[in-house]
């Protein structure tokens, strides 16, 4: 073993000793003794009593808590962030199949199925393909960097904590709250989308009735805990995947003239009205829509703290992003752009809550197939419910992480015995009732401004992940650490994160241009802030933290970055031995198996 490895062992041991001293001898978070006792007690008490008890505070000594960390005045803010996030009370109950389905289906929602219609009307078919392919490459590179960080540091909060510890806490504060706001406002928006989707079958139904019904369904699922979320997303994702695969097969048939109309479509919509709707500016408008549709891919980073075996399950889930992008997005959108012209009147004014403007539905209607549009709308309804469910998961885990870092009220970080960030979940569910504004004639304006607060959140989050990965690699280099310590290394490498950062910056520039000079409208402050309000909100959040904590450090120097707290594997000798054995076993497999394992 090299001297660097011995140094690493010493650093790992010192981190553990700090934790043990702070918690005054509390047991390791990996202990299972308490859980076993709880299970036997639960059986004797009955299901209902066990359910009620699950909402109580975590039993002292069951896991490391933040109480002693917060009271220790000798620790800096950054040290508290690192220690608290590394020792969360969240439960590791997500299995491999949960993560794989979450990675495949978490972002197949209204952004792809409905929002792509608006992008098609402004960018044209070529603009849509350029926007989604460019953002796909960006997301792939970003997710690889996130995978490396999440497998190495499977901690509560994921990417907002990475921004705090590898960049500086004020950036983590701004990114964390911006991400929270993105999904916080998404729940009522998706509930409204559900009620509007129902109107596809009956316009006389009162929207409020279905807002309440869908809200109750989501509240029920979210209170089941992380395992309930995993199981529900597994089912939702299966439905979405089957539907997209079915549409791909149907699309090929319709293009070749195999539909009831027997009309050969070919590439006529690419010729007339043409590939581009509004030239380069139209193409620029597709990037943010594409980013919105890919939003949710980074949610795998939030699941790291609740995954049974992060080293083995997270890499598989991360790699699945490539297949989702290649198959479900690019192929399906290619077919949609071939079957629907960008000048179709039904696309005009398309929004993310209007399922009737879905280009997927329009393509099926144009093909003359009866019944299938209703099926596609049912899929959209399920997808919207899935996104609403995922939004509660994202906001509750983000808020819990912010509380652990001392960036949100401490009570919002309450985690019960079932591992639920209970108050964060209830707060998010309660705000979902804002969807009752659907009864008001001001609902469009209200939601427009709510979305404007975090409209660029996905881009900011991905940029923070890129920069965090770059700084982590820089810290490893400066501190003389080897990549052999990592159980998963980004396939795109550090240059992939540089590429992802560049694309995200270019998207922000393009969106600024569109915000100042919108298509078909005169420049106005109203349109600018509606499109770009997220940026001043992010800057204001960053500045607020700087003033609040009186910490004006521009960034954390590479030599001072903590690359040990929260590490999944401290015993580097054992880790490297396991990796070597796995590589030796894989080398004996056929080329097809090795190729599959590399990508999946």
Closest CA to 492 of 322, 299, 310, 244: 322
Helix (H, G, I), strand (E, B) or coil at 248: helix
pLDDT attached to residue 225: 75
pLDDT attached to residue 593: 79
pLDDT at position 162 over 80? yes
Q: Span 197-217, mean pLDDT?
A: 81
pLDDT attached to residue 398: 87
Structural contact between residues 472 and 563, judged by C-beta atoms closer than 8 angstroms = yes
- Winning range, highest mean pLDDT, from 114-123, 164-173, 314-323, 563-572: 164-173
Query: Looking at per-residue confidence, does 408 or 16 come out higher?
Result: 408
Question: The tokens of 225 are what?
Answer: 């805990």
Query: Looking at per-residue confidence, does 365 or 195 come out higher?
Result: 365
pLDDT at position 432 over 60? yes
Lowest mean pLDDT among 137-146, 367-376, 477-486: 367-376
DSSP tag of 26: P
Lowest mean pLDDT among 176-190, 282-296, 318-332: 318-332
pLDDT in tens, 437-486: 766 777 667 777 777 777 788 899 999 999 999 999 999 999 999 888 88
Question: The tokens of 218 are what?
Answer: 């989501």
C-alpha to C-alpha distance for 2 and 540, rounded to whole angstroms: 46
pLDDT in tens, 87-110: 666 666 777 677 767 666 666 777
Closest CA to 192 of 424, 387, 375, 372: 387
Distances (CA, A) of 300 to 63, 94, 117, 358, 404: 23, 11, 27, 27, 19
Lowest mean pLDDT among 130-139, 210-219, 491-500: 210-219
State the average pLDDT for the chain. Answer: 79
Helix (H, G, I), strand (E, B) or coil at 349: coil
pLDDT at position 31 over 70? no
pLDDT attached to residue 18: 43
Q: Span 429-440, mean pLDDT?
A: 81
pLDDT at position 20 over 60? no
Q: pLDDT class for 522, splitting at 50, 70, 90?
A: confident
**What's the farthest any 2 CA atoms get from each other in the chain?**
76
Closest CA to 196 of 369, 364, 384, 349: 384
pLDDT attached to residue 60: 52
Structural contact between residues 476 and 483, judged by C-beta atoms closer than 8 angstroms = yes
C-alpha to C-alpha distance for 69 and 80, rounded to whole angstroms: 6
pLDDT at position 546 over 90? yes
Helix (H, G, I), strand (E, B) or coil at 307: strand
pLDDT attached to residue 28: 37
Q: Span 414-426, mean pLDDT?
A: 84
Residues above pLDDT 70, as percent of the chain: 80
Question: The tokens of 34 are what?
Answer: 């308490």
pLDDT attached to residue 59: 62
pLDDT attached to residue 105: 61
Cβ partners under 8 Å of residue 470, min gap 6: 494, 497, 498, 501
pLDDT at position 261 over 60? yes
pLDDT attached to residue 499: 97
- What is the chain's length? 600
Query: Looking at per-residue confidence, does 346 or 556 come out higher?
Result: 556
Closest CA to 553 of 170, 79, 238: 170
pLDDT in tens, 35-72: 434 444 444 456 677 667 667 776 654 444 444 555 55
The angle, 0 to 180 degrees and rounded to 10, between the axes of the packed helices 169-184 and 372-404 is: 150
Q: Go through the domains of the chain in sequence order and give each one's CATH number.
A: 64-569 (1.20.1740.10)
Closest CA to 160 of 412, 322, 394, 450: 394
Is the Cα torsion angle 576, 577, 579, 584 positive or negative in sign?
A: positive
pLDDT at position 228 over 50? yes
Q: Where are the beta strands (DSSP E) in 135-214?
A: none
Q: pLDDT class for 126, splitting at 50, 70, 90?
A: very high
Cβ partners under 8 Å of residue 520, min gap 6: none
HSE value, Cβ hemisphere, 13 Å, CA-based, for 551: 17
Helix (H, G, I), strand (E, B) or coil at 235: helix
pLDDT at position 112 over 70? yes
- Winning range, highest mean pLDDT, from 110-114, 248-252, 263-267, 500-504: 500-504
């Amino acid at each position: 073993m090299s001297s660097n490895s011995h140094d690493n062992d010493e650093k790992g041991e010192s981190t553990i000793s700090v934790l043990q001293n702070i918690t005054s001898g509390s047991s390791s978070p990996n202990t299972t003794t308490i859980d076993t006792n709880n299970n036997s007690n639960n059986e004797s008490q009955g299901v209902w009593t066990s359910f009620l008890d699950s909402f109580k505070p975590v039993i002292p000594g069951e896991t490391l808590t933040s109480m002693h960390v917060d009271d220790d005045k000798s620790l800096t803010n950054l040290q508290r962030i690192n220690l608290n996030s590394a020792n969360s009370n969240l439960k590791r109950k997500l299995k491999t199949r949960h993560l794989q389905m979450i990675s495949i289906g978490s972002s197949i929602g209204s952004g792809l199925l409905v929002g792509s219609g608006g992008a098609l009307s402004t960018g044209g078919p070529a603009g849509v393909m350029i926007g989604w392919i460019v953002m796909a490459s960006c997301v792939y590179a970003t997710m690889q960097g996130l995978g490396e960080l999440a497998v190495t540091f499977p901690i509560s909060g994921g990417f907002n904590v990475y921004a705090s510890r590898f960049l500086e806490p004020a950036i983590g504060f701004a990114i964390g709250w911006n991400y929270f706001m993105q999904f916080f406002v998404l729940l009522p928006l998706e509930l409204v989308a559900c009620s509007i989707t129902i109107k596809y079958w009956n316009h006389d139904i009162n929207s409020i009735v279905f807002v309440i019904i869908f809200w109750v369904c989501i509240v029920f699922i979210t209170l089941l805990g992380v395992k309930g979320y995993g199981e529900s997303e597994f089912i939702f994702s299966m439905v979405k995947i089957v539907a997209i695969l079915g549409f791909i097969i149907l699309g090929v048939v319709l293009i070749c003239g195999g539909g009831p109309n027997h009309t050969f479509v070919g590439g006529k919509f690419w010729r007339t009205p043409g590939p581009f709707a509004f030239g380069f500016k139209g193409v620029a408008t597709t990037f943010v829509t594409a980013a919105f549709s890919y939003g949710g891919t980074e949610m795998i980073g939030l699941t790291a703290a609740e995954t049974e075996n992060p080293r083995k399950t997270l890499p598989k889930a991360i790699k699945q992003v490539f297949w989702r992008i290649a198959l479900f997005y690019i192929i399906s959108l290619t077919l949609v752009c071939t079957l629907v012209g960008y000048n179709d009147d039904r696309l005009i004014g398309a929004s993310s809550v209007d399922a009737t403007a879905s280009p997927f539905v329009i393509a099926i209607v144009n093909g003359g197939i009866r019944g299938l549009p209703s099926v596609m709308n049912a899929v959209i309804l399920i997808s919207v419910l899935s996104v609403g469910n995922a939004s509660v998961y994202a906001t509750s885990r983000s808020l819990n992480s912010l509380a652990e870092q001392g960036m949100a009220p401490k009570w919002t970080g309450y985690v019960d015995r079932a591992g639920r960030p209970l108050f964060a979940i209830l707060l998010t569910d309660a705000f979902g009732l804002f969807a009752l504004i659907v009864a008001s004639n001001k609902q469009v304006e209200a939601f427009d401004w709510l979305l404007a607060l975090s409209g660029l959140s996905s881009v900011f989050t991905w940029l923070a992940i890129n920069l965090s990965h770059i700084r982590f690699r820089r810290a490893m280099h400066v501190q003389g650490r080897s990549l052999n310590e990592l159980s998963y290394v980004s396939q795109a490498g550090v240059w992939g994160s540089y590429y992802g950062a560049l694309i995200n910056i270019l998207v922000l520039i393009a969106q600024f241009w569109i915000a100042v000079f919108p298509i078909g409208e005169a420049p106005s402050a109203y349109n600018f802030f509606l499109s770009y309000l997220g940026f001043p909100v992010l800057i204001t959040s960053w500045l607020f933290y700087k003033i609040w904590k009186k910490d004006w450090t521009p960034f954390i120097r590479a030599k001072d970055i903590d690359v040990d707290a929260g590490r999944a594997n401290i015993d580097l000798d054992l880790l490297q031995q396991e990796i070597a054995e796995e590589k030796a076993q894989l080398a004996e497999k056929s080329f097809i198996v090795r190729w599959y394992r590399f990508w999946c």
